[in-house]
């Protein structure tokens, strides 16, 4: 299956707090078990039983996960300008003008979701939910308890972050908090039922919606609701389970109550198109924080373009898949970064990485996906196409450090 970059407008679903001008929440409900009409005959009885069993399974899955789903609130000091009543008079009248008064008030500026991954209060969420380094963060549990929280680490390579729940004036770590159970996203099938849970619109805590896995291995370019902070996200799950603003960082779960994804983005102006980061891409992040106290990503140290039958002709290359190492002649944008693991292993500009540890690099499985779940100091075996022939290279990965 080919993966192509989405061209529709997509929005990261952290909620900006804008307030409501009015309106009410509709009270429409759907009968969980379908029609009230009596079913007659053996086939009808089987159908009724299947619907009831699926409904019970959904409820059990939600009840299993909900205690570990949290709402995340960001607050910061904002300046408020108060003008004296005299400023409302006609400016041509001889009324003394007083200088406006500037006050500072702490206000909620955004909201999102997350879920607890350790009994002592580590919470996984999206990076864009806690992107504001000047904000203070708090966490509200499903039972209404509120705690302060601090950002532990933001992922340099994906829209993920980990925060720590703290309690009391001494800001100690809590104990025995409920945690989620991880599933396996690599085994998900298109059409499989999934459930999204989160702090919808930053207002409605632990809202539950359901749908199916619509597609896998999606690549999109997403931005926040103001059109800024653009990120390219790869290897995403697509779902038609309603993901609303504020659901960012909440879990996407299967019918066993296991987390299979992290709700991340929605397609603006479209219904039933949401995206989640697969949990198998998330597990190394959690392990990294528990082991190193921060998110540590490995790096290879190359700039590349994924090849297809179309663009391979443009590069005049006689292979139609792989990662083509492309840059320019300047030191600012080299194909192979100086002193990087790739440089030390002898990789060169215009090399094509065909395989990583025997797995083919193509539009569905890119180089980033092949490296992402490795650790620093791991060795990877590369099959490279150079000057019309295949060669092998072994590279020792190093910790990723964002360029400044």
Catalytically active residues, by annotation:
128, 159, 248
**Among 109, 110, 116, 163, which residue's Cα sits nearest to residue 143?**
116
Q: Is-contact 262 279, C-beta < 8 A?
A: yes
**Rounded to whole angstroms, what are the CA distances from 118 to 163, 281, 403?**
11, 18, 31
Quickly count: other Cβ atoms within 10 Å of residue 327's Cβ.
18
Q: 323-325 and 304-306: which strand pairing? A: antiparallel
Residues 6+ apart with CB under 8 A from 20: 203
Q: Which residues pair with 53 in a beta bridge?
A: none
Q: Which residues pair with 299 in a beta bridge?
A: 398
* Separation between Cα atoms, residue 44 and residue 119, nearest integer Å: 45
Which 3 state secondary structure label does DSSP give 104?
strand
* Separation between Cα atoms, residue 248 and residue 262, nearest integer Å: 8
Quickly count: other Cβ atoms within 10 Å of residue 403's Cβ.
6
Q: 379-386 and 352-356: which strand pairing? A: antiparallel
Q: In the structure encoding, which two tokens stand for residue 378, read together?
A: 């791991």
* Separation between Cα atoms, residue 57 and residue 249, nearest integer Å: 23
> How long is the chain?
404
* Separation between Cα atoms, residue 232 and residue 5, nearest integer Å: 9
**Among 160, 150, 115, which residue's Cα sits nearest to residue 288?**
160
Torsion of CA 124, 126, 130, 131, to 10 degrees: 140
Q: 204-222 and 379-386: which strand pairing? A: unpaired
């Amino acid at each position: 299956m080919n993966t192509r970059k989405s061209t529709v407008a997509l929005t990261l679903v952290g909620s900006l707090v804008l307030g409501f001008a009015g309106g009410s929440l509709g009270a429409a409900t759907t009968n969980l078990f379908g029609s009230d009409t009596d079913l007659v005959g053996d086939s009808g009885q089987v159908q009724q039983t299947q619907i009831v069993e699926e409904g019970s399974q959904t409820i059990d899955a939600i009840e299993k996960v909900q205690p570990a789903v949290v709402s995340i609130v960001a607050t910061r000091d904002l300046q408020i300008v108060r003008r004296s009543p005299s400023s409302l008079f006609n400016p041509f009248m001889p009324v003394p003008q007083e200088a406006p008064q500037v006050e500072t008030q702490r206000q909620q500026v955004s909201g999102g979701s997350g879920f607890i991954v350790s009994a002592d209060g580590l919470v996984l969420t999206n990076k864009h939910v806690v992107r504001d380094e000047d904000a203070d963060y708090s966490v509200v549990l499903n039972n209404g308890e509120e705690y302060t929280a601090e950002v532990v680490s933001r992922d340099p390579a994906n829209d993920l972050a980990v925060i720590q729940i703290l309690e009391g004036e001494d800001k100690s770590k809590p104990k025995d908090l409920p945690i989620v159970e991880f599933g396996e996203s690599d085994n998900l099938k298109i059409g499989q039922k999934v459930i999204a849970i989160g702090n919808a619109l930053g207002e409605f805590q632990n809202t539950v919606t359901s749908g199916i896995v619509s597609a896998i291995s999606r690549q999109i370019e997403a931005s926040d609701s103001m059109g800024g902070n653009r990120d390219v996200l790869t290897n995403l799950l697509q779902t038609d389970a309603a993901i609303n603003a504020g659901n960012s960082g909440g879990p996407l779960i299967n019918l066993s109550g296991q987390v299979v994804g992290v709700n991340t983005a929605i397609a603006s102006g479209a219904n039933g198109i949401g995206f989640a980061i697969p949990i198998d891409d998330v597990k190394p992040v959690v392990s990294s924080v528990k082991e190193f106290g921060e998110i540590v990503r490995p790096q290879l140290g190359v700039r590349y373009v994924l090849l297809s039958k179309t663009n391979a002709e443009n590069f005049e290359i006689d292979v139609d898949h792989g990662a083509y190492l492309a840059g320019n002649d300047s030191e600012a944008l080299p194909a192979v970064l100086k002193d990087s693991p790739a440089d030390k292993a002898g990789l060169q500009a215009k090399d094509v990485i065909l395989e990583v540890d025997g797995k083919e690099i193509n539009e569905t499985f890119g180089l980033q996906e092949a490296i992402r779940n490795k650790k620093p100091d791991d060795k990877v075996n590369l099959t490279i196409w150079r000057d019309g022939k295949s060669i092998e290279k072994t590279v020792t990965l190093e910790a990723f450090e964002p360029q400044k």
